[in-house]
Amino acid sequence: MDLRQKIVKWLVSAVPVLWFFVAGIGIGIAIYSNDITTNYFEKYRSVLLLLSLTFFLFSFLLPKKELLPKFSLKRLMAIFASCFFGIFWYLKTAQINSTTHLLAEENGKYKFIDTDISQSTIVYGTIVSDPDIREDSTNIVIRPDIIIPEPNKYTLAVDTSTTQVIVEEDVITRVIDGDTCETKNGQKIRLMGINAPEIGQPKSDDATKFLEQKVLNKKVKLIIQKDYIFDPYDRVLAIVFVENENINKSLLDNGLAEYYDDPNIQIVKKQTSGEMIKLEGNCGLIRAKVLPTIGNYYFEMGYGDYVKIVSPLLLPRKATNPAGFDYRRYLNARGIYAVTKTLREEKEIEYLGVGKLNKFVKLAYFLRKKMLLCIRKTVPYPQSAFLGGVTLGYRGGVPTKIRQEFQATGVAHVLALSGLHTGFVAALLLIICNIFKIKSFLRFILVSIALTIFAIMTGASPATVRSALMFCTGLFIYEILKQSLANTARVTIIIAASSILFFNPRLLPEASFVLSFMAVWSLVYVAPTVEKILLYSDSKLVHQFLTFPLFCVITGMTFISLIGGILQEVAIVRKIFPFLTQLPPLENLFPKWFNIESSSWLYKGEFFLLSIAFYFCGIIIHYLYSLSGKMLVKDMRTLSPFFRGLIQFVSAQVAIQLGMMWPLSSVYFYRFPISGFYANFVAIPLIGWIVQLGWIAGLINMLFDFVSYISGIKFISTIGINIALLINAFNTQLCQMFLGMAKLWGNFVPYPYVEMFSSESLVLWYSILGIIIWFEKIKQVVRLYKVQSVIILLLILIFGVYYLFPWIKKSKKVEVIFFDVGFGNAVLVKTPTKNVLIDTGPPGPSNWSPAESVISPTLTKYKIKKLDIVVLTSLKPQNIGGTVHILTHFPTKKIYLPGNFIDCSSFTYYDFIEKSNLWYYMTNPYLYEVTGLFIENYKLSQFIKKYNAEKHIVSDTEIIVDEVIDGKKFIMKIINVGKIKNTTDEIGNNSLCVKLTFANNSVLIPTQAAVELQNVLVSKLQQNLQSEVLLVPQNGHYNAYNELFVRTVSPKLAICQYGWTNQRIGYFYPSYVVPTQSRYMSLGIKFLRTDYVGAVILYLDAEGYRYTTCVSEKEYKIKLATEQLQES
């Protein structure tokens, strides 16, 4: 037996073992999902278990004569062993990852350290990535070498290296509070750089007394920053010294004040360093976001540079909502366990020299830069950004609008380097080998080395590493072991998957990992079946109603894409035919009657109609042609190679849509780019040629430069860059065409939210697909093993009845989801028959507002396409900010508005202040709270006026939902106690409260009720207010705390919707919530803050209530402990 046969034999035995190793890791994730993964995997546990069962069944179904071995007891044992090894491996790895983050050396032994060092920390380490430069910041990945946590001690001194100081002496005659005092001539002094508790807050009296003790009636020295003397309240900002004691620092050291960071003050705030931790071995990485500062915008550090960073290390953020993005899981899968943010200033990030580097990686990054320089010289902007992205993975610089259009079109995947791009590069390399007649072994070696360099050059992302590994393995099996293409693909998938998962099992739940393998799986297994139906079916019906009409739809849409793309963007075409610039955009050419309003869940009418029109065109042409006695496509096998190739391409596309895009796109992204099906028919070949031309130009330039360097003749380099210019000049036209096409489709077809595949429907989908693919084999197996088949069928039926028909077990509970929308309110109430949304969260940046990124995906996840009721409890921006987005995407039957709602769409700003009785702001109308209020109300009024739904302004207490669930009454009512006038918070005091009652449990939701409204509620409703769960009013501000109200409600659980917002809408700092939290806790009430625990999901049933939080209790405790540590 020669070596080749031995390897093949080894592979034959290894493949099932590896399959079961992968299945074992899947089961490991499912078992361990409670602690370390999000509730996503908890939900999909059944899918993973079923997948492993499927793999097990496949071992029976797969053909014996092909690569898989004959079934035997010995092999069964090996299979089980590999499965258990997979589980063991995952649990072991997961355990390490879940509790520990960075590896440190202590007395010659390694230990793991926690990275949640929220205080400032000094990190020394080497940059191990090519900096990813974005519009607003640069991301670098650092391999830490030394970490020095700084103790929580402050020294406060004006930084005289950056500014000058004035020194004055005076006598303090009055202390106002913990950080403010007054001199004998009445000048108020504000202690610089610190913030003591306000009057009424805990420790406020202690701070005031401390300051009195230290400075009252004493001569003090005031250190004042020369260029920033007064604060906005005309108080002198100073560091106060009594003799040699720094009073500001003493307040901090005694825990009576906190450090306050004002960008205008130049102070040195930290003193000594903590104990040094030396990190050794294969430790976790740190991702640093470096923010730019004016005058030093561009980052000149690169791979291999040794740097010092002074900034707090933090844990990456976990998913905080039911359908949120788990950033921590994403980074952990890439070996990153801590994040930090620094300013691009020497005191925060400093270059120290050359660190530990790998010359090979350094060379790859050098080549990457060389290639980008060629693009910068030969391709104009913005096409250069596009080409840099698709060839080298430089994602910075692609304009946001282009990115959005790509997303809407469903071709965004071309911007992120993936297996597709690696495939084009591999194809290019193979063609180059063909031209130079390089065969088998040498070809395998050269292509593998080149692909490895390519993977490193493009940042070694999991996607490129994975695909490069697959191509290299595939090439080995195909070239060296001389296996058939089909066998090569089958073995490659499993070897690549198991080897990647062996080193990093946490990649298994990754979207890119699953999507990429499922795409290859679809090409290998589904595409031949589709091809068989489309190309080799003898049925006339298939020809007439499937193959030809499908061909017509695709050709028609492709033609529109190409023409649209060329007309819209290709400069040279517009130059030659200037009249084309006069044409309106293609999507505007359709008559108005054709423009149907967006349907609730899928896509624009014209797109749908156009597809149908093409489809019927196909049928009619086919039918008319067959009337003449001939079939248009009688036998596909007689078609020319070009058309056969085209139909094969169509089959591959259809297979990818069936096997990956349709079921999994909705699972991972809650959206399905419907136009992607058509757009990809042009996008994939076009991008292939763009990538290959880009690389050819870059390689020619590099080759000529190299020859020029060796020979010393500069002219050779000039020739190289000019050839690259010629190639890229044409490539630019192709890029323009691609961008034009994306623009056309982006405008033409919106990017809809679609119903997400549930775990049950996924099982059903893939089972049907499996039966279609392996129909013949299943038939053979059933004939051979009749009894076993019946048993398996029965098992599947039992499983099916239990999992696939959840509607048999009718829901008997009410779910109340308190979203984590940052600073704002949004609560979803889900009963068995109704879906009610209370408030829509704060406004936010386009494409990333909480309504868009939190509420919509969650509604989609719960399969909610329409809302029965939307209640807007208050007119504050944090309650109505997402209304336009929600109502646009989720048709709503009825909208309840607070009694003080006025249509202000025709008001001026001053009219609004006057009509809303905002007397408090009349004298100072330019406060951002009130401008934000007006803007959001104006937008809401304009939208509501046109919106087609029943609108109701609440003037009295009303019951909005009344149904019987599980024999008990569920009532949801809006409480309105009438107008409360002339208070300092008119909007809050006229807001609505919502009360849910189910069996003996109640939930009270007084979103923005101010103290006055709370008093009225107490006096009017008294014991009727009593509830088990209370939403803390006014996002937890201590000013809205009313002990009488809380005692009357007497909740067991208080939920506070609080968090960060980048909108200036009355946001307040966490220190304003802390007193509220401690007051609730002192009354024995459990207090959950959404910025700590994420969304809270409350389940109400006939028995009682229970709740879960998106961030686990363990995480929450770590966070609390860290804060307490900082306080102490």
Partner 1 sequence: MDGTTKMFIFLLIVSLILGLLVVLTDPTYRIENIYKTNKNYYPQINDKTLQKGFRELLFETVKK
Q: At its nearest, how many Å lie between partner 1 and the CB of residue 372?
A: 5
685 vs 978, which CB is nearer to partner 1? 685
Question: What is the length of the chain?
Answer: 1128
Characterize the bridge pairing of strands 1053-1056 and 1086-1089. parallel
Q: At its nearest, how many Å lie between partner 1 and the CB of residue 770?
A: 33
**How far is C-alpha 484 from the geometric centre of its chain's CA atoms?**
40
CA angle 534, 539, 541 (to 5 degrees): 85
Token pair listed for 789: 């088949």
Q: Hey, is 357 helix, strand or coil?
A: coil
Alpha helices in 657-774 (DSSP H): 662-669, 676-711, 714-748, 759-773
363 vs 589, which CB is nearer to partner 1? 363
Q: What is the spatial distance between Cα 354 and Cα 361, in angstroms, rounded to a whole number?
A: 14
Q: At its nearest, how many Å lie between partner 1 and the CB of residue 692?
A: 8
Touching partner 1, residues 303-342 (CB under 8 A): 306
Stretch that binds partner 1, among 189-197, 364-372, 474-482, 1112-1120 (CB under 8 A): 364-372
How many CB atoms are closer than 10 A to CB 354? 11
Q: At its nearest, how many Å lie between partner 1 and the CB of residue 425?
A: 14
Q: At its nearest, how many Å lie between partner 1 and the CB of residue 39?
A: 41
Query: Per CB under 8 A, does 298 bind partner 1?
Result: yes
Stretch that binds partner 1, among 572-580, 769-777, 831-839, 1109-1117 (CB under 8 A): 572-580
Q: At its nearest, how many Å lie between partner 1 and the CB of residue 275?
A: 20
428 vs 1085, which CB is nearer to partner 1? 428
Stretch that binds partner 1, among 455-463, 726-734, 895-903, 949-957 (CB under 8 A): 726-734
Token pair listed for 325: 């993005």
Touching partner 1, residues 105-144 (CB under 8 A): 133
Contact 963, 831 (CB under 8 A): yes
372 vs 480, which CB is nearer to partner 1? 372
SS3 sequence, 860-900? HHCCCCCEEEEECCCCCHHHHCCHHHHHHHCCEEEEEECCC
How many CB atoms are closer than 10 A to CB 645? 11
Q: At its nearest, how many Å lie between partner 1 and the CB of residue 570?
A: 10
Touching partner 1, residues 421-460 (CB under 8 A): 431, 434-435
Query: Per CB under 8 A, does 401 bind partner 1?
Result: no
Query: Per CB under 8 A, does 485 bind partner 1?
Result: no
Token pair listed for 874: 């208050």
How many CB atoms are closer than 10 A to CB 780? 13
Q: Hey, is 343 helix, strand or coil?
A: strand
Q: What are the CA-CA distances from residue 187 to residues 230, 316, 470 (Å)?
A: 11, 46, 74
397 vs 1070, which CB is nearer to partner 1? 397
Query: Per CB under 8 A, does 302 bind partner 1?
Result: yes
Per CB under 8 A, the list member of 28, 69, 197, 355 interacting with partner 1 is 355
Stretch that binds partner 1, among 96-104, 247-255, 380-388, 752-760 (CB under 8 A): 380-388
Query: Per CB under 8 A, does 572 bind partner 1?
Result: yes
303 vs 517, which CB is nearer to partner 1? 303
Touching partner 1, residues 381-400 (CB under 8 A): 381, 384-385, 388, 394, 396-397
Q: What is the spatial distance between Cα 969 and Cα 831, in angstroms, rounded to a whole number?
A: 12
Contact 240, 221 (CB under 8 A): yes
How many CB atoms are closer than 10 A to CB 635? 11
Contacts with partner 1 by CB under 8 A: the residue count is 54
Token pair listed for 718: 């000039």
397 vs 605, which CB is nearer to partner 1? 397
**How far is C-alpha 603 from the geometric centre of its chain's CA atoms?**
23
Beta strands, E only, 875-988: 892-897, 950-953, 958-965, 968-975
Query: Per CB under 8 A, does 370 bind partner 1?
Result: yes
Touching partner 1, residues 670-699 (CB under 8 A): 689, 693, 696
Token pair listed for 920: 């408090």
- DSSP H or E run through 574: helix 571-576
Stretch that binds partner 1, among 72-80, 540-548, 567-575, 1050-1058 (CB under 8 A): 567-575
Query: Per CB under 8 A, does 864 bind partner 1?
Result: no
Q: At its nearest, how many Å lie between partner 1 and the CB of residue 365?
A: 8
575 vs 1086, which CB is nearer to partner 1? 575
Q: Hey, is 287 helix, strand or coil?
A: strand
How many CB atoms are closer than 10 A to CB 496? 24
Contact 145, 285 (CB under 8 A): no
Q: At its nearest, how many Å lie between partner 1 and the CB of residue 702?
A: 11
290 vs 526, which CB is nearer to partner 1? 290
Q: At its nearest, how many Å lie between partner 1 and the CB of residue 533?
A: 27
Contact 407, 399 (CB under 8 A): no
Contact 877, 1063 (CB under 8 A): yes
Q: What is the spatial distance between Cα 697 and Cα 690, in angstroms, rounded to a whole number?
A: 11
Nearest to 1007 by CA among 906, 877, 1094: 877
Q: What are the CA-CA distances from residue 706 to residues 5, 612, 936, 962, 1051 (Å)?
A: 43, 56, 60, 79, 75
Q: At its nearest, how many Å lie between partner 1 and the CB of residue 880?
A: 38
What is the rounded end-to-end Cα distance, in angstroms, of the chain? 73
Query: Per CB under 8 A, does 797 bind partner 1?
Result: no
Per CB under 8 A, the list member of 359, 714, 810, 946 interacting with partner 1 is 359
Q: At its nearest, how many Å lie between partner 1 and the CB of residue 230?
A: 38
Per CB under 8 A, the list member of 10, 559, 730, 910 interacting with partner 1 is 730
CA angle 148, 152, 155 (to 5 degrees): 105
Q: At its nearest, how many Å lie between partner 1 and the CB of residue 473?
A: 22
Per CB under 8 A, the list member of 270, 369, 644, 865 interacting with partner 1 is 369
Per CB under 8 A, the list member of 376, 777, 865, 894 interacting with partner 1 is 376
Q: What is the spatial distance between Cα 817 and Cα 1055, in angstroms, rounded to a whole number?
A: 11
Cross-strand partners of 997: 971, 1002
Per CB under 8 A, the list member of 63, 380, 685, 806 interacting with partner 1 is 380
Binding mask 575-614 for partner 1 (x = CB under 8 A): xx--------------------------------------
- DSSP H or E run through 990: none
Stretch that binds partner 1, among 346-354, 506-514, 797-805, 831-839 (CB under 8 A): 346-354
Tokens 């610039």 — which residue?
581
Stretch that binds partner 1, among 592-600, 717-725, 799-807, 994-1002 (CB under 8 A): 717-725
CA angle 791, 797, 801 (to 5 degrees): 150
Stretch that binds partner 1, among 297-305, 751-759, 920-928, 1000-1008 (CB under 8 A): 297-305
359 vs 810, which CB is nearer to partner 1? 359
Q: At its nearest, how many Å lie between partner 1 and the CB of residue 707?
A: 15
Q: At its nearest, how many Å lie between partner 1 and the CB of residue 708?
A: 13
Stretch that binds partner 1, among 58-66, 334-342, 719-727, 813-821 (CB under 8 A): 719-727
Packing angle, helices 359-378 and 676-711, rounded to 10: 110
Per CB under 8 A, the list member of 467, 498, 731, 849 interacting with partner 1 is 731
Binding-site ranges for partner 1 (CB under 8 A): 133, 298-300, 302, 306, 352-357, 359, 362-363, 366, 369-370, 372-373, 376-381, 384-385, 388, 394, 396-397, 431, 434-435, 571-572, 575-576, 689, 693, 696, 721-723, 725-733
